[in-house]
Amino acid sequence: DAGVIQSPRHEVTEMGQEVTLRCKPISGHNSLFWYRQTMMRGLELLIYFNNNVPIDDSGMPEDRFSAKMPNASFSTLKIQPSEPRDSAVYFCASSFNGGDTGELFFGEGSRLTVL
Amino acid sequence: TQLLEQSPQFLSIQEGENLTVYCNSSSVFSSLQWYRQEPGEGPVLLVTVVTGGEVKKLKRLTFQFGDARKDSSLHITAAQPGDTGLYLCAALNDYKLSFGAGTTVTVRA
């Protein structure tokens, strides 16, 4: 079975440009998480969806960040405008029944570099 | 401040040696998980511990959950180069899985 699929794997862009990261969760999973990983701050939860509905976006850094989940098989994380401090690896993860069962299945990540 | 404190931050050992990684918190958790992350990949779940005092073994890896369910340890016996990676502990805080900063383990051949 396919795991969580993220695209692009690598993105290099210039400050001020719009960035869109994409995620396809595992079929049948009803919870989706976006995390950001940096050396300084480790893995930080940005936003959590349950049954396509955003439940908690308190981790989203600022208004430049937005996330959508139009259906159960697709989510996007958008940064507009991007800044150099947004450079990080962004992970999408999915699970069945949110945190209750605990196990998250992560994608391979999207490495973003903002120049 | 991190909900979960991991130590040490970095660990470099020779193949065949043993190592222990710690995960501590002032909070009590219903369960705690350990993940391993290899370069260029996402974290992968190794184990979930649920009961205070619980010990789980996964081949050469031994995981222990503290009696008070505030801390956990991961012990690797006779480490191999394939054990190299970032080891992360994680715990549920409400419905959110919060991660420690991780321990980077390097096993030299």
Q: Following DSSP, what letter does each residue of A48-104 receive, concatenated?
A: EEETTEEEE-TT--STTEEEEEEETTEEEEEESS--GGG-EEEEEEEESSTTTT---
pLDDT at B1 over 80: no
Say if B41 is an interface residue toward chain A (CB within 8 Å): yes
Give residue B3's pLDDT band: very low, low, confident or very high (50, 70, 90): confident
Residue in A closest to B86 by C-alpha: A42
Instruction: Extract the tokens encoding A96.
Output: 């069945």
Best of B4, B30, B95, B98 to mutate (most A CBs within 10 Å, chain A): B95
Mean of per-residue pLDDT scores for chain A: 93
| Size of the A and B interface in Cβ pairs below 8 Å | 51
Nearest CA-CA distance, residue A81 and chain B, Å: 26
Q: List, in order, residues 6 or more apart from A62 with CB less than 8 Å away.
A: none
pLDDT at A97 over 80: no
Query: Residue A28 has what pLDDT?
Result: 92
Best of A43, A53, A94, A97 to mutate (most B CBs within 10 Å, chain B): A43
Does the distance separating the beta carbons of A93 and B45 come in below 8 Å?
no
Query: Residue A76 has what pLDDT?
Result: 98
Does the distance separating the beta carbons of B95 and A91 come in below 8 Å?
no
Give residue A2's pLDDT band: very low, low, confident or very high (50, 70, 90): confident
Nearest CA-CA distance, residue A53 and chain B, Å: 14
Over residues A62-71, mean pLDDT = 95
Query: Residue B22 has what pLDDT?
Result: 97
Query: Residue B7 has what pLDDT?
Result: 96
Mean of per-residue pLDDT scores for chain B: 93
How many angstroms separate the CA atoms of A49 and A68, rounded? Answer: 9
Instruction: Extract the tokens encoding A44.
Output: 């930080």
Give residue B29's pLDDT band: very low, low, confident or very high (50, 70, 90): confident
